[in-house]
Structure 1
Amino acid sequence: MEKFQLTLLFKIIGIGSASGLVYHEDKLYLISDNSTFLYEYHIPTEKLHKIALVENAQDNIAKKEKPDFEAIALKGNDLLLLGSGSTQNRNRLFKYHLTSQKIQERDFEKMYEKIKSQLHISADELNIEGLIVTAETIYFFQRGNGTNGKNGIIYAKDDAENQKFEFVPFDLPKIKNIPATFTDAVLVNDTIYFLASAEDTTSTYLDGEVLGSIIGTIDIKTMKLTGSVQISDTNKFEGLTLYKQSANEIEFLLCEDTDSEVLESNIYLLKLATNH
């Protein structure tokens, strides 16, 4: 994974603190951790469309009240948007149907309570930053930037009764002596590509000094880390989506959370060599 190329591809005006993105049919769907909009950006025309998820949707919500959307994933024709679960008001799941444009909201608190109870994760430790949904299984990427450093993948059979959650811990490489922790992930064939960042903080709530970001790979069958490389020592990358793929190269689009109220977001192109 040593060979990579990271470039700023374009800037989107009108969305700040981007925390996740999905590329689908020339469009980028983005979430922001302090907004109650889903953003649809048409790349060829550079047009941004805002989809209100709730009545009186806002672009910039105060930290203590924000829904903290950190995870977005595509399952069939549905986009799933999920709050991090790190506080009481961050427990909502929204489903947006790409064709009908219908929005469904679900309270995810019981699911998060089940996860915390089964896996012995304390309320101030839970911090879901990424989501992968397959036909059979749902995977949550727990960012272990709390005091106990509980970083790993939580997974269970999707929509099963008596859901039983498993937790696979991951000790990721350190940046300036601070462990990197998950910020997003996407599945490509049988490989999980993930982003992780290091921040000088032990709080799931308060931001710290950004020390950099890595991208890595995990074999979904064995749940083993298969590679990683540091791609920045200044950016806190929080969103990852597959863009293009060839025999020798894979391309991703990335977004970063600048922890700022400025309504603009940089979208980066990351190219990785895949020929071994």
Structure 2
Amino acid sequence: MEKLQLQLFLNIIGIGSASGLLFKENSLFLISDNSTYLYEYQIEKASLEKHALVENPAENILKKDKLDFESIALKGNNVIILGSGSTKKRNQRISYDLKTKKIENKDFSVVYERFKKEASLSDDELNIEGLIITADKSYFFQRGNAGNSANGIFILNADDSLVFKKIILPKINDVEATFTDAILVDTTIYFLAAVENTASTYLDGEILGSFLGRIKVENFELENTILISKINKFEGITLFKESDKEIEFLLCEDNDTEELKSEIYKLTINQ
């Protein structure tokens, strides 16, 4: 995973602070951590559609009020969206049916309380930034950027048992990288991790860089990490194309501004 190419792929006007994305059938589904819409961008038509996820949806919501949608994943025909859990307002699990466009909203507080107990996290240390769903397990990626919390993966099994796997990530200027998203490709987890000079799940800090990493799902051993940017805070990753020779991902960046504009990057690596 040493050879890579990172390039600007799309500029999307109408969505800001993109925090997660999902590519399916030539459409990009995006979420924003300060919005209560699911955005659908049709690449061939270059058109953007907004799907309201709650009553009275809004954009550029004040930090203290936002639901902080940070994770997006596909479960069958449903797009699953999660709040980060970093405050009481951020405990929502929303399901959007791609066929019927029906929306179901569930309070995920009970599950998040189990996470905090399992990993010995205080209320302000939980910060879920990535989600992978398989037939028998769900993987939740904890961003360890507050207090004594650590990077790790909560594995919730079909029998409702729960395990927390702590993951140590590389550092820049003595600041450890922290998970910002992850996807599963075959039997390998590819993840993003950002180095942000802050000890808070609430406040932003200076961006020192972003890594792409790889973990084998059967043993959760960290196989490799590579610095892909020294200036970007990448918060979302999705599989775009895959061949025998290379794999292409699309990445989104949280620009931490109120501007309704998002840059989508394409990252290509050798297999």
TM range (shorter): over 0.9
**Residue 269 of structure 1: CA displacement?**
0.2
2:122 matched residue in structure 1: 122
The answer to whether the aligner puts 1:81 opposite 2:81 as a matched pair is yes
1:166 matched residue in structure 2: 163
3-state secondary structure, aligned to 1:9: strand
Give the aligned residue type for 1:230: L
Q: Is the 8 Å Cα contact of residues 119 and 165 (structure 1) preserved in structure 2?
A: no
The CA deviation string for residues 146-171 of structure 1, in whole angstroms up to 9 with x for no partner, is 1114111111114x3xx332111111
CA distance in structure 2 between the partners assigned to 1:268 and 1:211 by the alignment: 18
1:214 matched residue in structure 2: 211
The answer to whether the aligner puts 1:194 opposite 2:181 as a matched pair is no
Q: Is the 8 Å Cα contact of residues 179 and 193 (structure 2) preserved in structure 1?
A: yes
1:24 matched residue in structure 2: 24
The answer to whether the aligner puts 1:177 opposite 2:177 as a matched pair is no
Select the residue among 248, 251, 256 that pairs with 2:253.
256
**Runs ≥4 residues deviating over 4 A:** none
CA distance in structure 2 between the partners assigned to 1:247 and 1:18 by the alignment: 30
CA distance in structure 1 between the partners assigned to 2:129 and 2:153 by the alignment: 10
CA distance in structure 2 between the partners assigned to 1:115 and 1:155 by the alignment: 10
**Residue 70 of structure 1: CA displacement?**
0.3
The CA deviation string for residues 94-122 of structure 1, in whole angstroms up to 9 with x for no partner, is 00011111110000011101111233111
1:204 matched residue in structure 2: 201
**Residue 60 of structure 1: CA displacement?**
1.1
In the alignment, structure 2 segments of 5+ residues that lack a partner are: none
The answer to whether the aligner puts 1:245 opposite 2:250 as a matched pair is no
1:146 matched residue in structure 2: 146
3-state secondary structure, aligned to 1:135: coil
**Residue 56 of structure 1: CA displacement?**
1.3
Bigger mean CA offset, 126-135 vs 176-185: 176-185
CA distance in structure 2 between the partners assigned to 1:147 and 1:119 by the alignment: 13
3-state secondary structure, aligned to 1:112: helix
Q: Normalising by structure 2, what TM-score?
A: 0.99
The answer to whether the aligner puts 1:105 opposite 2:102 as a matched pair is no
3-state secondary structure, aligned to 2:90: coil
Q: Normalising by structure 1, what TM-score?
A: 0.97
CA distance in structure 1 between the partners assigned to 2:172 and 2:216 by the alignment: 23
CA distance in structure 2 between the partners assigned to 1:192 and 1:124 by the alignment: 27
Pairwise CA RMSD: 0.8
1:45 matched residue in structure 2: 45
In the alignment, structure 1 segments of 5+ residues that lack a partner are: none
2:222 matched residue in structure 1: 225
CA distance in structure 2 between the partners assigned to 1:172 and 1:248 by the alignment: 27
Bigger mean CA offset, 236-245 vs 144-153: 144-153
